[in-house]
């Protein structure tokens, strides 16, 4: 029998993908399931982006590209930051990868290792902690509260820093909470970062999906010299409905991007050539499609939050960004639902799926025990139907 490495044995499967797989199994067995587990826009990739991919294929752009991405796509990323944040990057400061998750892995593999500590505010995206552990580094969790908007304070950050601290992982807008730090809140964190000479991985993949008065802020722009300590992560998956195209990027100091490119060249050779051409069209093309999707997500957010607010025992948080509702269901712990005892978030989700046909993701996976996550990246009809089911299930109707 072939043995399994300690690293592979320690890695846990993605909770969101596992939840989605369970829902698909029940659907295959003939059950009606409202699946709110995956963070994937239900929109088709906009037509002008798809058309650019077809043109690229017909021109023969179907071969290996430079490991860091084509010069054209890296230049497009630079134009994106200049246009949106007045932040000047050179193409040598950009690494295009196979999705933002790959970009995050590249950063961690190139910055931290055994003996290092990585600070992560909770709740956090499920993959952060496992990606840190894969490097041999240790993650340090900083809990935040719904009462504080699920935001880490400068005092909390300062208290978490030790001589072994190498990196802060920051995510705004946040998955799973939808919290968006204000510019002043980020500036206060930036001051702590600069004083401690701490590197920052700023995951800004949901930057275009903000609602109401909230505004996304590029962390690297906040203070002079901060860009030299910051690696900005983003991509086209969420804002342009391009999850399957697998294009993300990292932008940061030249020496680090070069090291990350070396790592990537040994891992995957390069990102998909056709997807890179489509990404240029996405970044340089008409942005009306992004605003159209953003408005629809905001309407869905309002629908979901209004419905959750009416369900007894549910404490909901109104998100300012992303497309998730993260709500407290701890009042149902100690009860029996659908014949199953509910003792934590995981057992709540299992009962809701098997007894109510509603698929949610346990907050435990995000470092937020007592909460569950609902993705509203699906149609209003599906949301209404699923929330009807959830309400009836919780009220015992």
3-class SS letters over 41-104: CCCCCCHHHHHHHHHHHHCCCCCCCCCCCCHHHHHHHHHHHHHHHCCCCCHHHEEEECCHHHHH
> Is pLDDT at 255 greater than 80 in this prediction?
yes
CB 11 within 8 A of CB 134: yes
Phi (first) and psi of residue 56, to 5 degrees: -60, -45
Read off the pLDDT of each residue in 11-29 and give the average, rounded to a whole number. 75
Instruction: Decide if pLDDT at 16 tops 70.
Output: no
CA dihedral 9, 326, 245, 239 (to 10 degrees): -150
Query: What's the rounded Cα separation, in Å, for the pair 161 and 288?
Result: 42
46-105 pLDDT per residue, tens:
999 999 999 999 999 999 999 999 999 999 999 999 999 999 999 999 999 999 999 999
Mean pLDDT of 339-356: 93
pLDDT at 340: 85
Q: What is the mean pLDDT of the segment spanning 120-147?
A: 97
Contact assessment for residue 357 and residue 31, using Cβ atoms and an 8 Å cutoff: yes
Q: What is the arithmetic mean of pLDDT over 161-189?
A: 98
CB atoms within 10 A of CB 102: 23
Copy the structure tokens of residue 216. Answer: 């996304």
The rounded distance, in Å, linking the Cα atoms of 43 and 55 is 22
Question: Whose CA is closest to 161, among 128, 198, 132, 191?
Answer: 198
H/E stretch holding 375 reads: strand 371-375
Domains, in order of start, for the chain: 6-44+289-395 (3.90.1150.10), 47-284 (3.40.640.10)
Q: Are 24 and 248 in contact (CB under 8 A)?
A: no
Segment 196-230, tens digit of pLDDT: 999 999 999 999 999 999 999 999 999 999 999 99
Higher pLDDT residue, 92 or 39? 92
Kind of pairing between the strands at 138-143 and 117-122 = parallel
**Total-model pTM:** 0.95
pLDDT at 30: 82
Beta pairing, strands 165-171 & 199-203: parallel
């Amino acid at each position: 029998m072939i043995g399994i490495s300690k690293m592979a044995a320690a890695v846990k499967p993605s909770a969101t993908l596992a939840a989605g797989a369970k829902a698909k199994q029940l659907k295959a067995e003939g059950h009606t399931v409202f699946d709110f587990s995956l963070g994937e826009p239900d929109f088709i990739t906009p037509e002008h982006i798809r058309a650019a991919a077809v043109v690229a294929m017909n021109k023969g752009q179907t071969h290996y590209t430079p490991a860091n991405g084509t010069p054209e796509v890296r230049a497009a990323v630079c134009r994106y930051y200049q246009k949106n944040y007045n932040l000047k990057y050179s193409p040598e400061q950009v690494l295009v990868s196979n999705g933002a998750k790959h970009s995050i892995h590249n950063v961690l593999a190139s910055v931290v290792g055994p003996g290092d500590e990585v600070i992560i505010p909770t709740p956090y995206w499920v993959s952060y902690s496992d990606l840190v552990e894969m490097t041999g580094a240790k993650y340090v969790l900083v809990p935040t509260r719904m009462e504080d908007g699920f935001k880490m304070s400068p005092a909390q950050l300062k208290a978490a820093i030790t001589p072994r601290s190498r990196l802060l992982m920051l995510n705004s807008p946040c998955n799973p909470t939808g919290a968006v730090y204000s510019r002043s809140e980020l500036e206060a964190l930036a001051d702590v970062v600069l004083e401690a000479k701490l590197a920052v991985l700023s995951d800004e993949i949901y930057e275009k999906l903000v609602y109401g008065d909230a505004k996304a802020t590029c962390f690297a722009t906040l203070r002079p010299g901060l860009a030299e300590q910051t690696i900005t992560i983003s991509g086209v998956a969420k804002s342009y409905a391009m999850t399957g195209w697998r294009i993300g990027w990292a932008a940061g100091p030249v020496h680090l991007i070069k090291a990350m490119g070396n790592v990537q060249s040994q891992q995957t050779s390069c990102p998909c050539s056709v997807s890179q051409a489509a990404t240029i069209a996405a970044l340089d093309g008409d942005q009306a499609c992004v605003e159209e999707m953003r408005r629809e997500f905001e309407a869905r957010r309002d629908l979901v939050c209004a419905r959750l607010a009416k369900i007894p025992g549910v404490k909901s948080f109104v998100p300012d960004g992303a497309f998730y509702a993260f709500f407290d269901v701890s009042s149902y712990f100690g009860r029996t639902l659908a014949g199953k005892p509910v003792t934590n978030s995981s057992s709540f989700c299992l009962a809701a799926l098997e007894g109510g046909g509603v698929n949610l993701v346990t907050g435990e996976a995000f470092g937020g025990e007592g909460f569950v996550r609902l993705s509203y990246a699906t149609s209003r009809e599906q949301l209404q139907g699923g929330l009807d089911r959830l309400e009836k299930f919780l009220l015992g109707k």
